[in-house]
């Protein structure tokens, strides 16, 4: 049981780190062209230098929603990690980690909303991109989506022994 708890804890920390990286770095969409590699993220568009992300007024609300939900997912994931540590030392034997699991599933839902909006609104629709493909931040966000769901379910099922 201790090995399982340690494994979940390590995967949870890895998920938090990957959420930070996928939100902060600007490599959600990448375009390789004769001008060089251009990447765009949630905040900036980078070639050799980074500039403000050009977004049409029609897509601005969608981008703000993606940014907000990714930040919320980081907050909920960190809160779940802290709550797990607190429950690990204060929870009675035989009880389940319901609160930690619920907060982690809220994190999962925030990631789902953010990545789904980005996929629907911005995939392949960037200005100056002729041959776009997804960058590592987009892929990390989907990996965090899977990990947070698995961790949330494990927290709900797991009992303290």
> Tens digits of per-residue pLDDT, 60-114?
899 999 999 999 999 999 999 999 999 888 878 777 888 999 999 999 999 999 9
Domains defined for the chain, CATH in brackets: 1-160 (1.20.140.150)
Q: What is the pLDDT of residue 160?
A: 67
Q: What is the pLDDT of residue 128?
A: 63
66-71 contacts, C-beta under 8 A, 24 or more apart: 66/42, 66/114, 66/115, 66/117, 66/118, 66/122, 67/42, 67/43, 68/114, 69/110, 69/111, 69/113, 69/114, 69/117, 70/19, 70/22, 70/23, 70/42, 70/110, 70/111, 70/114, 70/141, 71/23
């Amino acid at each position: 049981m201790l090995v399982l708890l340690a494994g979940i804890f390590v995967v949870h920390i890895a998920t938090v780190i990957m959420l930070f990286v996928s939100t902060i770095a600007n490599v959600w969409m990448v375009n390789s062209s004769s001008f060089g590699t251009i990447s765009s993220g949630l905040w900036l568009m980078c070639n050799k230098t980074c500039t403000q992300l050009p977004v049409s007024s029609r897509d601005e609300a969608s981008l703000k929603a993606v940014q907000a939900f990714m930040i919320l997912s980081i907050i909920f994931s960190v809160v779940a990690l802290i709550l797990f540590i607190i429950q690990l030392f204060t929870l009675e034997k035989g009880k389940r980690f319901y609160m930690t699991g619920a907060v982690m599933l809220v994190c999962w839902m925030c990631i789902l909303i953010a990545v789904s909006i980005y996929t629907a609104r911005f995939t392949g629709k960037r200005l100056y991109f002729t041959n776009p493909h997804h960058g590592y931040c987009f892929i990390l966000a989907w990996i965090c989506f899977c990990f947070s769901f698995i961790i949330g379910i494990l927290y709900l099922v797991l009992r303290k022994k």
